Amino acid sequence: MTRVFGKMLKKFYKKDPVEEIIMRMPPQLVGGAFFYAKIRGGKTAAMLSMALRYKDTYGYNIVDMYGGERNENMYALLSSDEINYWDYVKKKFNIKDNQEGPKQYKYIVWTPYFKTKIPKKRPHDPPNVINKLITIPFKEIEIEDMKSGVNSISDTALSLWRDCLDDSKNSDAGPELKETIKKKKGENQLIYKNLLKPLIDEQFLQSKTCIYNLDILNDMKNRDAIKVLNLNHVPQVYHLFIIAWILRQIKDLLHKGKIKKRNVFLFREAREIFNVKDDSVTDDRIKWFRKLLINYIRYGRRGMHMFVDTQSPSETRGIVEGSQDLTFLGRTPATSREDRAAIADALYSVGKITKKQIEMLGDLNPGEFFIIENNEDAKKRYVLLPRTLYWKEKYKNFDNVWAQHVDKWIKTEEDKKMLNDDFRDRENKIKEKEKFEKGMEKLIVVKKIKPVEDSQKPEDTEIIETQKIKETEEITANL
Amino acid sequence: MKATDFTREEIQEISKYILANVPYSVLEQIFPLTENPRKKAEVFTIMYRIINSSVGYVKNDDTKNKLKKLLSGCESEYKEIYDILLKLNSSMIFGRHSLFNQIILIFSDFDRNYKINCLIDVFLVFAEKQILRDIDKVIGVTTDNIKGEEVVKELSKLVKD
């Protein structure tokens, strides 16, 4: 009797009921991850949650590149407020006592400096949240970056930009660049009108020596902190240019081996970029950026892993197949025939998902997905919420949420003054230089015209010349 | 004192000590809920001793006091049974019968037996095999089975709007 009871106990204790319902961490990434679901399907929360788990488990470096129109990437700066949810999770899954569900990660927020748009105060709560103003050195802008900023770049514009880079010094900033372009008569070029001039006027383009320049190397080396690009105040037309520039810089650093591999980049609402259904009305710069992003998606082995969320596989059809390690298929209504056709085309045809599973797509709960790992078939799983805050419909503005939870800010006034003074100084110097050059021209003209009169009135000419020389000396002294 | 007087966190802390210091194979050997007087006496003394040693491990004073209260409830039984067991193991074969009878006398007293059973029951809860997980390793729920679906339903209710 005792033995039988003992055996029963042994049997009972060896089984762990939690193990049966737990979703294990997928293996390390080779490619990227794609999250598809309609609105309220929980795709963005799942993407954030998975990225954070890759950070927690394998030490991936996270760069939250794009938060969509609603700037959703900023909400992760705060830890989750779902206390009851995480208490239940802890209890249900026997989580160790010293481990909290909600987690405050460390963040570096990259805030591009746009003189007229920059907010007066920015969320800043060191050491958890460090908000950095960023500018970019124009000498490091390649023509490829500019293609994401303007719709068309002519060959003339291309050569103009190369000439400008050759003729500029490292210490030159926006005003000097403007002057160089004027000298080269490139003011009518579209890259100047639509991209360079506005960015110079906004003081976003700076010299190589500017202290506000984005220090990608150091920030990327700090793998503990999640990097967030805050494009909230930046006009939408420049978003892709800034993202493209940052991605290229990181790619270059990876090529040179200066930063470690295993970097995850998050893109929300990628439908704006990927939507290939109506390509005829898509801007050229978006098409170019899409091309870039597709290249980066295939850069997994080099250390860049893209996590992208879109509403439907039909948007990425033919673009990303074969490059994803993880595909998350969330709630897709039965009425969406095109989406289902895309799923069937991409996954059913290769036997990854069954017909029954496709039919079930319309009934999935928020957060529930059919997950397809590289070589495995689709499995139905629920992804836990991120341990940070994430965007919800009730939030209107991130600043309000931040004010409610943390309410610690950094003022932009001093930085603005510094950059403004530098910009004005440079402009004044250019004006003085212009004046000086004009003065010199006059002097040369006087010298050329005067010789005949010189013989007649040598004393007057001397007076004029000495006056001119004095003037020029004064200008040079000022310079 | 009952196991329910201890909070989940307290049980986890004590459990951690017991599982870390007593090999699982030994735990299995002492688990049998035998009513054989001699075996039951041995099981009781072992359990009393392990719980007593865990008093020094737990950090919280409240937990310590609870454990002390639990042990004090059957302290006299422990002292008596421990003394009898010592004698039983060292005495000659002819004196054993009377010692054995003394143990039976203790167990046949309903109140005393109840106290001993209580301690054994609480120990069973303390020694429950709990795999404590890292939160980083729990990323989701398998919803292929009913248990998983139930968990997801509960979780969905707890999500704020």
- Interchain contact A395–B (C-beta under 8 A): no
- What mean pLDDT, rounded, does chain A reach? 84
CATH number at residue A63: 3.40.50
| Residue A14 pLDDT | 47
| Residue A9 pLDDT | 47
Q: How many CA atoms lie within 13 A of A412 on its CB side?
A: 21
pLDDT band at A346 (very low <50, low <70, confident <90, very high): confident
Structural domains in chain A (count): 3
- Spell out which residues of chain A touch residue B131, defining contact as CB-CB under 8 Å: 16, 18-19, 94
Residue A41 in any domain: the answer is: yes
E strands within A248-367? 263-267, 304-310, 324-329
Looking at residues A46-61, what average pLDDT do you find?
Answer: 94
Instruction: Please give the interface size between A and B, counted as residue pairs whose CB atoms are below 8 Å apart.
Output: 131
Is A158 found in the same domain as A106? Answer: no
Q: Could you tell me which residues are beta bridge partners of residue A205? A: A136
What is the distance in angstroms between the Cα of A128 and the nearest Cα belonging to chain B?
A: 20
Which one-letter amino acid corresponds to residue A452? Answer: V
| Residue A1 pLDDT | 44
Exposure pattern of B36-49 as b/e (b: 16+ CB <10 Å)?
A: ebbebbbbbbebbe
- Interchain contact B95–A (C-beta under 8 A): no
User: Residue A11: is its pLDDT beyond 60?
Assistant: no
User: Residue A13: is its pLDDT beyond 50?
Assistant: no
| Residue B11 pLDDT | 85
The Cα A123–Cα A129 span in angstroms is 8
**C-alpha dihedral (B23, B24, B25, B27), degrees to nearest 10:** 90
pLDDT band at A450 (very low <50, low <70, confident <90, very high): low
What is the distance in angstroms between the Cα of A94 and the nearest Cα belonging to chain B?
A: 5
Q: Could you tell me which residues are beta bridge partners of residue A133? A: A111
Residue in A49, A56, A96 closest to B132 by CB? A96
In chain A, which residue's Cα lies nearest the Cα of B143? A381
| Across A256-260, A304-308, A321-325, A326-330, least confident range | A321-325
The Cα A160–Cα A164 span in angstroms is 6
Is A179 found in the same domain as A79? Answer: no
Is A243 found in the same domain as A162? Answer: no
- Interface touch A368/B9, C-beta < 8 Å: no
Q: Which of A153, A169, A199 is the last residue of a domain?
A: A199
User: H or E segment at A381?
Assistant: strand A379-383
Residues A161 and A189 sit within 8 Å (Cβ to Cβ): no
Residue A332 in any domain: the answer is: no
| Residue A280 pLDDT | 66
Is A398 found in the same domain as A438? Answer: no
Is A265 found in the same domain as A234? Answer: yes
Residue A103 in any domain: the answer is: yes
Residue A305 in any domain: the answer is: yes
| Residue A477 pLDDT | 58
Is A227 found in the same domain as A94? Answer: yes
Is A195 found in the same domain as A317? Answer: no
For residue range A378-413, list pLDDT tens digits in order.
Answer: 899 999 999 999 998 888 889 999 999 999 999 999
- Spell out which residues of chain A touch residue B139, defining contact as CB-CB under 8 Å: 23-25, 49-50, 53, 383-384
How far from A182 is each of A188, A236, A275, A430, B17, CA to CA, in Å? 9, 27, 38, 12, 77
The encoded tokens of residue A109 equal 């927020």
Percent helix, strand, coil in chain B, to 5, is: 75, 0, 25
| Residue A16 pLDDT | 67
Percent helix, strand, coil in chain A, to 5, is: 50, 15, 35
- Interface touch A96/B135, C-beta < 8 Å: yes
Is A48 found in the same domain as A157? Answer: no
Residues of chain B with pLDDT below 70 are 24-25, 27-28, 31-32, 91-94, 129-130
Q: How many CB atoms lie within 10 A of CB B8?
A: 12
pLDDT band at A12 (very low <50, low <70, confident <90, very high): very low
What is the distance in angstroms between the Cα of A17 and the nearest Cα belonging to chain B?
A: 9
How far from A372 is each of A1, A315, A318, A332, CA to CA, in Å? 48, 18, 17, 16
- Spell out which residues of chain B touch residue A384, defining contact as CB-CB under 8 Å: 138-141, 155
Q: Which residues contact A294 (CB under 8 A, 6 or more apart)?
A: A319, A320
The Cα B128–Cα A13 span in angstroms is 8
3-state secondary structure of A383: strand
User: Residue A422: is its pLDDT beyond 80?
Assistant: yes
Is A392 found in the same domain as A298? Answer: yes
Residue A92 in any domain: the answer is: yes
Is A404 found in the same domain as A302? Answer: yes
Between A25 and A246, the more confident residue is: A246
Interface test with B, best of A93, A103, A391 (most B CBs within 10 A): A93
- Spell out which residues of chain A touch residue B138, defining contact as CB-CB under 8 Å: 22-23, 89, 93, 95, 384
pLDDT band at A449 (very low <50, low <70, confident <90, very high): low
Question: Can you tell me which residue has the tokens 């049966």?
Answer: A20
Is A120 found in the same domain as A50? Answer: yes
DSSP secondary structure letters along A20-83: HHEEPPP---SSEEEEE--TTS-HHHHHHHHHHHHHHHH--EEEEEE-TTTTGGGGGGSB---H
Residue A238 in any domain: the answer is: yes
Write out the residue range of the structural domain in which residue A404 sits: 34-128+221-325+381-411
Interface test with B, best of A4, A95, A361, A379 (most B CBs within 10 A): A95
What is the distance in angstroms between the Cα of A225 and the nearest Cα belonging to chain B?
A: 17
| Residue B15 pLDDT | 84
Residue in A10, A383, A387 closest to B140 by CB? A383
- Interface touch B160/A49, C-beta < 8 Å: no
User: Residue A341: is its pLDDT beyond 80?
Assistant: no
- Interchain contact A17–B (C-beta under 8 A): yes
| Residue A269 pLDDT | 81
Residue in A50, A97, A365 closest to B152 by CB? A365
Residue A398 in any domain: the answer is: yes
| Across A231-235, A418-422, A466-470, B129-133, least confident range | A466-470
Is A465 found in the same domain as A406? Answer: no
pLDDT band at A143 (very low <50, low <70, confident <90, very high): confident
- Pick from A242, A295, A200, A10: nearest CA to A112: A242
What is the distance in angstroms between the Cα of B121 and the nearest Cα belonging to chain A?
A: 14
For residue range B117-155, list pLDDT tens digits in order.
Answer: 999 888 888 887 667 788 888 899 998 888 899 999 999
The Cα A281–Cα A298 span in angstroms is 26
Residue A63 in any domain: the answer is: yes
| Residue A188 pLDDT | 87
